[in-house]
Amino acid sequence: MKKLSFLIVLLLIACLICENALAVNVFFTTKDVNFVPNQRLEIEYAAQNGNNEDMGISVFFTGDLAQYMSAEPANFPLGAGKTKKFTVIINFPEKIEKPGTHSETISIKEDRYNQKGTIVVFAQVNQPLRIHVPYSGKYLDASLSTDGAKQNQPITFKVSVANLGDETINSVYGTVYAYNSDNVTIGSASTDSASNLESNTQQELSTLMSSTGIMPGRYWADADMYYDGATKRTDRIEFRIGELKAQITNYTQQGYFGKINRFNVEAESSWNDPINNVYADVTLKNDTQVLNSFRTLADTLSPWEKKNLGGYIELSNVPIGNYTVEITLNYAGKTDFVSGNFEAVEEPKPEPEKPKVFPGSAIATIVGMTLLLINIIIWIMISKKKRDSNAK
């Protein structure tokens, strides 16, 4: 029984310590590096002990290029609340056969123990590091971006081009194409050009496309980039042509009679700039009789933003039933109007309080500990029988 009591106490202490274990924090400056043959690359990291106990730190690596990686120091003590820097060192070989992006993992493991050192808890933090190995020859990567434009104003497109090959690209330029929802080309524009784009370098090209005659709405664009006799097409992106417009997209359609209720008006901007001082006037009617009216709080809609404008509707003297709600959205000297249904209903009665139950995770923990204790008891009984048999 003494052994059993000791094992039970040990198990409970271990569970408590494991639940309170805190992981170490890690700070770093980069997640991407480029392969350079025979280069020794050093990257600075820092480990921080956010706990109130001393710990030991171990640094190790996983990934297909882990053999070229090391840390200085790889193992070190870290006092409670302290921060210590360490260096990740990559000794690149002459050549890496597989080009492209290699995903490596830098793992920082904490070894924390109590003052007597009888129980050790391990926690681990993993940080990604991407190593980019150039392709053989000339290899262009390109991505297109834009913030859209206001109606009848030029659309600025930017193309980020990167040379992922091991040879210099002499010249790169391209053409951006815009499309409507039917995939019909509605505009095009030529970018500027870049020269002598060396391996593992990138540059940004740009162009302006006219939006004259293009109606406000959603559109799409991609770009064909030409480099030293080859072509690279970017992924297609979505962009918008905006107009100074905001509209009501939803509103609260039900409230509890006999009390004051929260009422939201959802408004969406179709403009490329912020719209300030946006608010809604709300009127509740029974046929032509006005029962209540109020104004929501004013707010700012960011470009293309959808947001709730909040207010409160008084239903203290409004019987249960269906009514008409009229909402006028006010913005930048313009309005949007919606008329719809609103229902005053009886507030449901609160359900009787249910007996408290353990959450699933707590039940699983209790069941697991119970099974473990049963196994320990069986093991002790079997061991005792074996000892008794040997004694005979």
3-state secondary structure of 14: helix
* Residue 2 pLDDT: 47
CA distances from 323 to 208, 264, 312, 320 (A): 51, 17, 16, 9
* Residue 391 pLDDT: 58
The yes or no reply on domain 22-133 and CATH 2.60.40.10 is yes
What residue ranges of the chain have pLDDT lower than 50? 1-2, 4-22, 114-121, 361
pTM of whole model > 0.75? no
* Residue 13 pLDDT: 43
* Residue 386 pLDDT: 66
CATH of region 246-345 = 2.60.40.10
Nearest Cα to 169, choosing from 125, 111, 121, 228?
Answer: 228
Instruction: State the amino acid at position 131 in one-letter form.
Output: I
d(CA 327, CA 322): 16
Fold match between domain 22-133 and domain 246-345: yes
* Residue 7 pLDDT: 46
* Residue 365 pLDDT: 64
By the 8 A CB rule, do 140 and 169 touch?
Answer: yes
**What angle in degrees, to the nearest 10, is found between the helix axes of 360-391 and 2-19?**
150
Q: What is the CATH topology of the domain spanning 140-242?
A: Immunoglobulin-like (2.60.40)
What is the residue extent of each domain of the chain? Answer: 22-133, 140-242, 246-345
* Residue 387 pLDDT: 66
By the 8 A CB rule, do 297 and 310 touch?
Answer: yes
Helices (H), the chain: 2-19, 360-391
Maximum pairwise Cα distance, the chain: 104
pLDDT one-digit tens code per residue, 196-222: 999 989 999 999 999 999 999 999 999
Give the residue carrying structure tokens 């300030």.
Answer: 276
Q: Where are the beta strands (DSSP E) in 49-99?
A: 55-62, 69-72, 75-78, 83-91
d(CA 253, CA 250): 9
Q: Which residues contact 211 (CB under 8 A, 6 or more apart)?
A: 149, 150, 151, 152, 153, 154, 155, 187, 241
